[in-house]
Structure 1
Amino acid sequence: MRATGLERFDGLADRFLADIEPLKEAGALVVGIYCTFAPVELVRAAGAVPVGLCGKKQAPIPAAERTLPANLCPLIKSSYGYAVTGTCPNFAASDLLVGETTCDGKKKMYEHLSKVKPLHLMHLPAATGAAQDAYWRDEVRRFQEFLEAATGNTITPEALGAEIRIQNEVRRLLARLLSTSAGTCLPISGLDMMLVSEAKSFCADPYAYAATLRDLLAELDALVAAGQSCVGSKARRILLTGCPVGRGSEKVVELVEQSGGVVVAAENCSGVKNFDLLVDETGDPLTAIAKRYLRIPCSVMTPNAGRFALLDRLTREFRPHGVIDLTWQCCHTYNVEAPLVKAHMLETHGLPTLHIETDYSESDTEQLRTRVEAFLELL
């Protein structure tokens, strides 16, 4: 059984262009974002509209490989392929781009991308601490200055505070939605939770998005109270970790749920990492924003203890039967962490982990199906 409120999210990303049309006519700029490290609060406080541009489909990759090496992760190639083929309407609608120095592949891809559209690059430190906090705050301030110059609008503390509050509310609602799957009755599948979370990157109005989340939450709570689950009682509960997924790159999540499992939580930057941490609403807003975003436990951080702490918390809350660690091919930072994750989950929680390395194509789908089915049977 699927909650009827999910129908409102099915076409939310596709309605983005229609939603921003009156805003663009009024002079608002659209800022294309490629990573969760880019502070959306600043973009909105500048009177601009953020939109997610991270590539999640196979189609534009061949065009990207005319410039980029084939042995690069599909997320990077897909993102660049959309830019050079003109096949992503959200990229076409973007007036400015913001990148971040996470992995080496993305850093170098941004050099090519900056020739297509104006691009601001945020230089991300690879660790957290007092010195890194101060450095990153300067980068956030530099991003603020870029946005003010581009839009002609001053980002006031009042406007920034308002954006912090609504983004925190959205994060709380998404966390509350996910928590409905912590019990034995699961009112939402992993695929649908992915759809709802991904829609955050394609909403022109965060207040309207929050209202839609509240409506869905009320329905999910009612389903749980009535004992109505979207999966059978024998479904194996899976904690997904690793690289981000979305529409077009959801094949592993789809295979899990076609094979009798259910993804109860996704610890990745398209899932929990995207809404787990809140911005402190007291004190200097720029400092609070910088601190929140630098604590995202991405695999580019070293050491990356935050990822293991988050996995521990999700394991305690959602009680998975097993873990699937998804790595896109040639994503070296996540690949290096894979054996560490596997050992940690087994030694700390007694949970087996299936590590899958794949790309966006469908060529290995049946091989993956066999591996996923065998893993679920093992559980």
Structure 2
Amino acid sequence: MEIIKDLPEVFEEFAEQRKNSFLAVKQLKDKGVPVVGAYCTYFPQEIAMAMGAATVGLCSTSDETIAEAEKELPKNLCPLIKSSYGFAKTDKCPFFYFSDVVVGETTCDGKKKMYEYMAEFKDVFLMELPNTQSEEALKLWKSEVIRFKEYLEKKFDVTITEEDIRGAVKTNNEVRNSLKRLYEVMKHDPAPIQGQDLFKVLYGSTFKFDRKAIPAEVTALVEKIEKEYAEGKMLEKKPRILVSGCPVGGATEKVVRAIEDNGGVVVTYENCNGAKSIDKLVDEENPDIYDALARRYLNIGCSVMTPNPNRLELLGRLIDEYQVDGVVEMTLQACHTYNVESLSIRRFVNEKKGIPYINVETDYSQADIGQLNTRIAAFIEML
């Protein structure tokens, strides 16, 4: 008989998933499974999966190793870049340590220069990401996807067939669909669960190496949430917040806590580890699988793209579908693309959607928690 766990227990399991995977990644290595590490949502995961590799997001969300990184990198650099480099340099990230190759991408200037230094002590494969989403850019990005496949074939002495890639695409599309169904439970008003618990599952699921197992687990969770909601188990009615901006996770979860500790509920995340990475599927009907992959990944609406209409399209859709009362944009200090783009996000939210917007600029320290609470409490009170 299957033991049905309580929701809080399930959420905690997902929250612990990253730590549990530290041991799992070593076991995979012991079995000879290749491990491919990456930092970014633009990483075409299906190519590595098609080879039978385990893929993992590398440590980059804590201030633990920033002091170490600052011995070599400028202090006025984005904390995500410093954290990534610090964990790599100090070997304090088991995922980095066990990765056979790290896949980088030319998203922003800071990252691409940092990858140059990282390549001095680790195999780094750098993908040339265009900074625009034109048809010309698509040609370049498709050629990069193919170049990545050829690199893996040569490095690991394997053949990656189109059939293998299509199998990985199918698996990942199923994962995306299940996670989409999960975050869609937040369309209910009042919300069924806390945004912090939703985030635990979205973030935790990225550290599960058995991608095929995710849909069943997440679907069971969705059914449980819906069943309890139908029985009247829900949060009290609160202002509904959309979180946008730089990647959330680790240290920056303080922003989500500040929202929910001060009377709001985060009903949707537009960030990389939220809707942005799950919203679009790879077109399985496209006869050219490399074109299908290139299109799906290039269309992600990140602030590194100029212009960036896809971010506004997704943002507008989420605001409508989730009946959002206010938008909190979290930007990291010295993240130039997101900080510059915050003006157009503010205009869009205030003028086009007619709802309040606040930008909070932060880093990975805990020094600004009091200030965050004060500002966000005032914002939520205004709603």
State the Cα distance separating 1:201 from its structure 2 match. Answer: 2.5
Calculate percent identity across the aligned residue pairs: 45
Look up the match of 1:168. 173
Task: Provide, for residues 86-128 of structure 1, a one-character-per-residue CA deviation record: whole Å limited to 9, x for no partner.
Answer: 1111111111100000010001110111112100000011111
Look up the match of 2:256. 253
Q: For 1:213-224, list aligned pairs within 5 A.
A: 213-224=218-229
| Contact 2:333 2:363 survives alignment (8 Å) | yes
State the Cα distance separating 1:20 from its structure 2 match. Answer: 3.5
Q: Residue type matched to 1:111 in 2?
A: E
CA RMSD of aligned residues (A): 1.3
Task: Provide, for residues 204-252 of structure 1, a one-character-per-residue CA deviation record: whole Å limited to 9, x for no partner.
Answer: 10011222111111111112212211x322x211011100111232110
Look up the match of 1:321. 325
1:277 is aligned, of 280, 284, 294, to 280
Look up the match of 2:315. 311
| Contact 2:17 2:205 survives alignment (8 Å) | no
Q: Distance in 2 between matches of 1:266 and 1:331?
A: 19
3-state DSSP of counterpart to 1:248: helix
| Contact 1:72 1:330 survives alignment (8 Å) | yes
Normalising by the residue count of structure 1, what TM-score does the alignment of the two structures yield?
0.97
2:66 is aligned, of 49, 61, 64, to 61
State the Cα distance separating 1:144 from its structure 2 match. Answer: 0.5
State the Cα distance separating 1:3 from its structure 2 match. Answer: 4.4
Q: Residue type matched to 1:118 in 2?
A: D
Q: For 1:1-379, list aligned pairs within 5 A.
A: 2-229=7-234, 231-233=235-237, 235-282=238-285, 283-379=287-383
| Contact 2:29 2:98 survives alignment (8 Å) | no
| Contact 1:256 1:372 survives alignment (8 Å) | yes
| Contact 1:83 1:116 survives alignment (8 Å) | no
State the Cα distance separating 1:24 from its structure 2 match. Answer: 2.0
State the Cα distance separating 1:9 from its structure 2 match. Answer: 0.9
| Contact 1:33 1:50 survives alignment (8 Å) | yes
Tell me the number of residue pairs that the alignment of Structure 1 and Structure 2 aligns.
Answer: 377
State the Cα distance separating 1:35 from its structure 2 match. Answer: 0.3
State the Cα distance separating 1:25 from its structure 2 match. Answer: 2.5
Look up the match of 2:3. none
| Contact 1:238 1:321 survives alignment (8 Å) | yes
Which ranges in structure 2 are unaligned for 5 or more consecutive residues? 1-5
| Contact 2:333 2:361 survives alignment (8 Å) | yes
